[in-house]
Each structure stands twice: as structure tokens, then as C-alpha cells.
Structure 1
Amino acid sequence: MQVFYATQFVLPLPAGHRFPMAKYQLLRDRLVQELPELRLMQAEAASDGELALAHAPGYVRSIADGSVAAEILREIGFPWSAGMAERARRSVGATIAACRIALQEGIAANIAGGTHHASAERGGGFCVFNDAAVASRLMQAESVRRQRALRVAVIDLDVHQGNGTARIFRKDPSVFTLSLHGRNNFPFRKEAGDLDVDLPDGCRDDEYLCALDGALQELEHRFSPDLVIYLAGADPHEGDRLGRLKLTWDGLEARDRRVFDWAWQRGVPLAFAMAGGYGRRIEDTVQAQVNTFTVASQYWRRWQNRSR
């Protein structure tokens, strides 16, 4: 299974910053040690033209040259630097590459990504560009020879609502946005997507999985995707600082299996990104992500057996 990374492009953050930048390298190291069947590849940077498929060109330029407004930087939560701009492009490029490979092999991944709070003209919530939105639009542009437009379902299981993704695609019937998230969590003003399921603080495994089952059933009734982009946030875990939900390790693994199996049973290729994770112990966030990759690898092997 191919996995794309940009871990060498580290965003310089001030001491004490609450974003756990180290998790990406820790995850990459664990994957190399524990899942040798994965093929890790460095991601290319998304171009201005690719980013402009989902973002206003002026916003793209402002991130590139550092002229982005101070209030937007405050919303993003990162100081501007050339490294910040490059890392944001590489994160989008990794999801683009994962989508291309998933359409060929069934499943592929981005070690980072899931930057779902970025909308067309601004970022927010540690998200500069929206990788799922750019990749969706680019995969559609690259499939122009199909009899109909490529249909993409974004299944967003980060604990925070995917407001930026919902806003970008709110009038686009070719992309279906499903978000399962904490009712009382960031963003506090939600953006209506195609299917939003909000969950109470303290939600545990059984309640969460029942809600997910219902959401996947409704997705199937309303939309037939050609590609799934899955945001596999680690932040619903009970050990997350920002999550407010109470999923166990088993609950998170069952969540992942439901999504991968849903796509597998329907023959829909799936690209996934790691999205959020803010564990009180960074090792817990990384473990949740390793578990997601372990499940993904099992389903990738099923895809290869199917194609033989």
C-alpha cells in the first residue's frame, strides 16, 4: 500500500504551541518499523493551479508570499513562514497522490492531511489549504473522459466538524460531505454539509458506532461515490485533549473497519488522511493512527486479491 508523506517539511512553531507537529515523524517511524509492506513516498507540492481548484487565487498567493492577513493567520493558528507555506502545499500534494493511487489500487494514504477547516478564501483551526477539497476537484478534472463527472464522498470522522469542506462543496452535487463530530466542539458555528451527525460530550463506543452505521446507510441511499476520501481523525479517542468524546482503542478500530469495509463491499476506491489528533500523550495519538494503517493494509490486500 502506498503512503505519502512530507515529514521532512517541519513547520517551525514557538515553544509551548499546542499543535503536536512531532506526531507525523513519530507515525512515519512506527510505520517503517511495524508495517514493512507499506511503500512510503515523499509527496510533491501542490501547484498554484491545483490549489486554485478549491481556493481563491488571491488567498493562495498570500500564503505563498507571506502577505496573508494577520486575522487569517490567527484563525489558522500558525505563524507564517516559508516552511509553513511549503508544508501546506506538500500536505495537499500527498492527498492528491493518494487519490490517484487509490483509483488504481483501491486504497492509499497521506500521513498528514485532513485539513478540513480551510475554506476557499481563508484557513482556520490549524488548516491552511483544504487537501480533500483540492484533491476531489483535481480527480474530477482528470476524469473528464468518463461518461459522467467523478463523484466523491468525503467521510469526515475527525471529532471537529469539517466546516471548510462543507462550505466549499455546499452547491456541488458531485461531492457528498459526511461529518460525524462533537456537538459542542470547534467550530462553534457549524457549516451545513450534506450529512452532519453531531454527538454529545462523553459519547462512547456503542453510541458512536450506531451513529456511524446510520450515517453510512444514509450515504448509500443518497449518493453513489466513485471515490471516498476518509478523514480518520484520532481525536475521538478518550485520551484526546481536545476531543471530548470517549472512544476506546477498540471503538476507533471498529470505526475504521466500518469505513474501509463499506468502501470495499461496494468496490469504491478509498484514500485516507490522518486529520486531527491531540492526545494528552502524543504516543496515544500515534498509536491510534498506526491502528488505522494496520486496518487499511488488511483491506488493501483484499483489493489486490480482487484484481487478480
Structure 2
Amino acid sequence: MAGSKQDENNSVIIDENQQTKEDTGGGTYDERDCEEEVHDTKLYFDISDNKWPIIYSPEYNIGFLGLEKLHPFDSGKWGKVYGFLKDAGMLSDETTVRPQEPTETDLKVAHTKRYLKSLRWSINVATITEVPPVAMLPNFLVQRKVLRPFRLQAGGTILAGKLAMERGWSINVGGGFHHCSGDRGGGFCAYADITLTIKFLLQRMEGVKKAMIVDLDAHQGNGHERDFMGDDQVYIMDVYNRHIYPHDGFAKRAINRKVELEMFLEDPFYLDQVSRNLEAALKEFTPDVIVYNAGTDILQGDSLGALSITPKGIVERDEYVFQAAISRGIPIVMVTSGGYQRNNAEIIATSILNLRNKHIIRCDGATETQEKLLRAAATSRKPEPVESEPKRGLFSRFFRSSRFSQSSSATPEYIPDDVTEEKAACSASPEYIPDDVTEEKAACSATPEYIPDDVTEEKAACGNQETLIHNEEADELVATSSDKNSDAVLKKLKSLTVSDEPQNSSEDNQRASIGDAKQQNSSLAKESQLASPEDPQNVLVDT
């Protein structure tokens, strides 16, 4: 096509011969059919004084199947910034403002219908976000997981504009999509939140007739520059690395104060350029509000920003810009914009804390509310319950008993409180030895040959036989017996039978022993009759 060229961000073909028109509403493209009339919106709403003019939503963060990791931008950076500020005790959910999502009518204040319709095609969103696999996803998922976080952040920047006019300053933890214009997106920027914010302010806030954009991201802000091309109501100061994306020569025409930097510039020269040019810009133009695009991709080590500014340099830069605005009574809106390293979130939070600690920004109502919340949390904090302790309340005794019974039965190693670990270990093993039993006795008791101390081995051996009478002693008694002591011999034999029987034998063993004794007595009686058959007293009577 004659008179046109392909832009280097591979987004949209730009026609440099396209005519523009200038009117009281600012420079616009011929085909732009943006919403010019003031419409009803939910993006502007009243905020109580006990909230910081700091805007954040957990839905800012982009995450879906890990696809966000295919882009160098940390799409969870905004949540990390909020987490650092929350851990520092500055913010809480009760003292932070949450934005509303813009409707299509809200977006038409800056965007064309054709551009908004183009976002219904996943391939176009993949080009804007620079994540090719997004083109393969159904568009309803792209709308929900990718574009909705962008819309919420745009709504946060719009609301931050209103808060800045009411409080003197405001910070949107997200936003800063400075590569997106009304009819095109690119560079991970899908909605022109800076343009939307300024247009909402010019339309709705009394006393706002002029605005200044201070863009200190490492990249050129070609999106808002195209939107406000030839607009005398908006002054643009842009400090960027001239050797990196987007190389948009057409958009550079809209810059009022252009500061192009060389590669790997360091703190002293950078801070000097920022301070001198901002002072000069504020002398040339007196705005009613400043939109500050505070990108942190100028940090040293950022492969896309290709500058060498230290974290301390970033903190000093932000402090200087805020001080310049607030000292002049100019409301300032800060957005966080680019930054492609994992430590960017902590640096942003450190910078915001520095502004608070130096009383450059303050909110007494929010500070008092936060202190009350911290005191209440400290007094209501209870020690964590022990795992074995049951929950208090109804049936707590039942829970306690059931828990102990389960733990003791389920685990064989359960040890009650009144049993030492040594005893428990012994009882759990078959070699357990009580305290009052020596190891020698225990060893004997564990074997079937156990012999008590008061029993000789000979008696123990005899005790294991079916008969419990000592045959040798019985023979001696019979041999030495006379006619006169036959009854005594019988009693002696019975006593030997009873005394030698184990006390722990069963009833069956006792009956067997008595039967054996009777059989032995009968044999002894026969022997006595053979010895003296004439004497009837020598006969043994079985009683």
C-alpha cells in the first residue's frame, strides 16, 4: 500500500498519510467513533476517608495455564507489590480501594468500536500480548483470563484520576498501558488507561482543563502520544531509551519535551535529566493534574529496558516527581507500568513506603484505621492449639476420648503419660523384663524349661512327667516298713503324691495323678501280702 509502512511492534499497519482533525476535543483520527457524550458510569464512586487513595484488586494478576510465563513481563507483579505493602503494615483489605470493571460504553470514551470488536478474535489478543499460544484459546477464555484483568486495571487508573483530584494524589498499583491507543494495541497493552483517565477527567471533573503526562518508563509511550497528537490540553514529557521498542517515529511528533537516552545510562546522568527537564516542563505548562507513568524497567539488568538505574535511583526518581507535583499543589496520579524482573515489585513497594515515611503522601484516616486493626489483631491473637487437643465446644469430651482411643489403637507405639518411654519400649517387645525380675529369671520364664528358685532341676524334671511320685523314695518306704506302721506308709505316700503335684496343674492332671497313685498303692499292697501272707495287718487298704 502506497504511503504506509509496517510498524516494528508487528501490531497494526500505520498510515502516515492518514488525515487528522483538530477540534476542541483534541486530535483524533477520522475513523474514530469514540463516545463523546457524558454517560452514566460506575467507575466513579465515593471513597471513605479511612481508605488510602491506593487502588488494587486481586484480579489484576494474570494467570492461565502458565501461558503468562511465556512473556517476560511478570504478570503477577501487582499482587506482589500489594503483598509487600501489606506486610509492611501500610495497607490492608479494609484500607485499600477496589475498582470496578469498565463497560464497553466506558471504553468507547477512548477506543473505537472497530478496535473493541477486534479483541473478540483471540489471534489479535495474542499479537497484543505477544504470547502466540493465546491465539489457540477460545475467546471467552481470553476475555475472562487475559482481557478482564487489563480492563480492571484500566478502571483503577480512571478511578485514581478522581481520587487524585479529591485527595491531591493517588496510586494505581497496576495500569500504565502506554503502548495502547484508541484504535490499536501492542506491547502487552490492550486498553489505553492513560488516555481514558485524562478524557474522563476533562469530561467530568470541574477545574480540570489541562493535563500533563510524565512518562519515565524505559520505552517510548507511543499509545497516548498518538491519542493526543496536536491536543493543546495535554502536555507530554517522555524520557526513554532511543534504541529499543517501539521506534514509533510518527508518535514522537506529539511529544512536547522529548528526552532520548543512550544504552545503559546510570543514576547520576539519568536523575539529572529527569529533574532538569521536569522543571522546564512545569515552567512551560501548568497542568491541573499530572499522570505519572512510573515504569521500573529502567532498572539495571532489565534486558528489555537496557538501562542501568539502581533501586535507589528509582526511589529517588519517584520521590522527586511527587515532590515537584505536591509542592506546587498539582494532583498527581501514579501508575506502575513496565518492569520485567522479579525484584521490580519490591522496588515499587519500597518507593511507596519511602513517600509515606517522608510524609510526601499521607492519609490520616487510613493510618488510624490500620493502627486499630493491628491492635485488635494483636489482642485477639490466640496461641495455636496443640494437635492432640480436641476442639472446645459441644461433645468435646467425646472428641477427646475418641481421639486418644484412636491414637492408642491405631499406633502400637502409643505411650500413656504415666509410663516411661523405657518401659513402653520393653512392653512392646517380647523380651520385656519387669523391674522386680532379673534378666536370668526372665530368660527362664520365656522358655518352657523355666525352673523356680525353690525347685531343683531334678524336681522340675519329675514335675513334667505324668506321675508325680518319687519312685525311689516310695521303694525305700516300703522296704523299711513293718507290720505296725503300714497305715503311716500309706499316708506318707499320699502326702508325697500331693506335695509333688504342681499347683497350677489342671483338673485333668490332678485326676491322672490320683489314678496313678491308686495303681501304685495296689501294687505295693500285693507286694506286702507276698511278704507276710498270714498277717492280715500287712494288707494295704485303699481308702
**Do these two structures clear the TM 0.5 threshold for a shared fold by scoring above it?**
yes
> Is 1:58 aligned to residue 119 of structure 2?
no
1:18 is aligned, of 69, 72, 76, to 72
Determine the C-alpha separation between the residues in 1 that align with 2:334 and 2:190. Answer: 18
> Is 1:188 aligned to residue 247 of structure 2?
yes
2:324 is aligned, of 246, 262, 268, to 262
Counterpart residue identity of residue 103, structure 2: S
Residue 76 of structure 1 deviates from its aligned partner by 3.5
Residue equivalent to 2:214: 155
Please list the CA deviations of residues 14-47 of structure 1 after superposition, one character each: whole Å capped at 9, or x if unmatched. 1533221121111111111114257322221122
Residue equivalent to 1:165: 224
Residue 72 of structure 1 deviates from its aligned partner by 6.2
The DSSP-based 3-state class of the residue aligned with 1:229 is strand
Residue equivalent to 1:122: 184
Residue 7 of structure 1 deviates from its aligned partner by 2.8
The answer to whether the Cα contact below 8 Å between 2:55 and 2:97 also exists between their aligned partners in 1 is yes
* Structure 1 pair 9–24 and aligned structure 2 pair: CA distance change class (3 A): closer
1:300 is aligned, of 361, 367, 376, to 361
State the number of aligned residues: 295
Please list the CA deviations of residues 93-115 of structure 1 after superposition, one character each: whole Å capped at 9, or x if unmatched. 00011111111111111111000
Residue equivalent to 2:58: 7
Residue 61 of structure 1 deviates from its aligned partner by 3.3
The answer to whether the Cα contact below 8 Å between 1:183 and 1:200 also exists between their aligned partners in 2 is yes
* Structure 1 pair 74–209 and aligned structure 2 pair: CA distance change class (3 A): same
Q: CA RMSD in A?
A: 2.1
The answer to whether the Cα contact below 8 Å between 2:128 and 2:190 also exists between their aligned partners in 1 is no
> Is 1:135 aligned to residue 197 of structure 2?
yes
1:177 is aligned, of 212, 224, 236, to 236
> Is 1:208 aligned to residue 270 of structure 2?
yes
The answer to whether the Cα contact below 8 Å between 2:242 and 2:262 also exists between their aligned partners in 1 is yes
* Structure 1 pair 9–246 and aligned structure 2 pair: CA distance change class (3 A): closer
> Is 1:234 aligned to residue 293 of structure 2?
no
Unaligned regions of 5+ residues in structure 2, if any?
A: 1-51, 366-543
The answer to whether the Cα contact below 8 Å between 1:118 and 1:165 also exists between their aligned partners in 2 is yes
Q: Which moved more, 1:192-201 or 1:293-302?
A: 293-302
2:103 is aligned, of 29, 44, 47, to 47
Counterpart residue identity of residue 241, structure 2: G
The answer to whether the Cα contact below 8 Å between 2:77 and 2:344 also exists between their aligned partners in 1 is yes
Residue 55 of structure 1 deviates from its aligned partner by 1.3
Determine the C-alpha separation between the residues in 2 that align with 1:175 and 1:114. Answer: 17
Determine the C-alpha separation between the residues in 2 that align with 1:302 and 1:208. Answer: 31
Determine the C-alpha separation between the residues in 2 that align with 1:28 and 1:264. Answer: 24
> Is 1:223 aligned to residue 223 of structure 2?
no
Residue equivalent to 2:82: 28
Unaligned regions of 5+ residues in structure 1, if any?
A: none
- Identity of paired residues, percent? 26
Residue equivalent to 2:409: none
Residue 218 of structure 1 deviates from its aligned partner by 2.2
Counterpart residue identity of residue 33, structure 1: D
The structure richer in strand per residue is 1
Residue 9 of structure 1 deviates from its aligned partner by 4.6
Residue 258 of structure 1 deviates from its aligned partner by 1.1
> Is 1:106 aligned to residue 165 of structure 2?
no
* Structure 1 pair 303–232 and aligned structure 2 pair: CA distance change class (3 A): farther
The answer to whether the Cα contact below 8 Å between 1:50 and 1:138 also exists between their aligned partners in 2 is no
TM-score by length of structure 2 reads 0.52
The DSSP-based 3-state class of the residue aligned with 2:362 is helix
Determine the C-alpha separation between the residues in 1 that align with 2:110 and 2:351. Answer: 28
Larger radius of gyration: 2
Determine the C-alpha separation between the residues in 1 that align with 2:363 and 2:79. Answer: 28
